[in-house]
Amino acid sequence: MTSYPRALSLASMLIVTLFALGACGDDGGGTTDSGTATDSGAGDSGADDAATDGSTDGGADGSTDGGDDGGGGGASCITHLDPACGATEYCDFDDNLCGTVSTEGVCRPRPEGCDAVSEPSCGCNGLTYSNGCSVMAAGFDLNNNGTCTPAASTFNCGSRICQEGMEYCSRSIDDTGRADTYSCLPLPAGCMTAGSDCTCFDGTSTPCADMCAVDAGNFTLTCPGG
């Protein structure tokens, strides 16, 4: 009979131990539920938010900044009359065709302090100015379409206006998609006679004489792009 109290004591200790283990299990579960999972979830949410904010801000800022900077520093414009350009700007088209071919141009600052050199030039508004700088200072791009009305004894040469019987139109083709270049150059003496044809350039050192065309007595020599 002396062994019974010891057996009861061992049973009591076992119950206490099991109770303690059960309590530890509850605490572990609570820690798992309220600690690791919750904290990890909050961390993921924060990371997702950061990723979302980063991609949104980066995309918007990047596209806006890239668009402005990539367009040469100005807003895009469709014609020389487009109000996108400010009062001190003009709409510049890479091909100098006034938007008749290009889908859009770029607003650029108007030049200041143009010199007095006489190189009559046509603007996209159909008016002739003393030179190309004056065209842009007035708020227009150069007009390579040649649609300005030439004054008496002159003829259109892209954006330039040349003197009949004194000058020929020299055109240099740009094969990179930018504007062709036009200039008015002195005619060889043998080409100043009325009724002359392209053979008058034979024996001269005139560049691209073999690419000559004549229209109403006015010569145009075209140099291909290289």
Q: pLDDT tens, 57-88?
A: 333 333 323 333 333 458 899 876 666 799 99
pLDDT of 132 higher than 60: yes
Q: Which of 173, 159, 209, 171 is nearest to 188 (CA)?
A: 209
CA-CA distance, 197 to 217, in Å (whole number)? Answer: 8
Strands 105-109 and 160-163: unpaired
Contacts of 172 (CB under 8 A, 6+ apart): 180, 181, 182, 222, 223, 225
The residue whose two tokens read 């206006």 is: 161
> What is the reported pLDDT for 101?
82
Question: Residue for token digits 């003009």?
Answer: 90
Q: Is 134 within 8 Å of 116 (Cβ atoms)?
A: no
Name the β-bridge partners of 177: none
Burial class (CB in 10 A: 0-12, 13-18, 19+), 114: middle
Tokens of 25: 């299990």
Six-digit token string for 21? 């283990």
Q: Which of the two residues, 185 and 51, has the higher pLDDT score? A: 185
Question: How far is 191 from 37, CA to CA, in rounded Å?
Answer: 93
Q: Taking 70 as the threshold, does the pLDDT of residue 3 lie above it?
A: no
Looking at residue 127, its pLDDT comes to 97
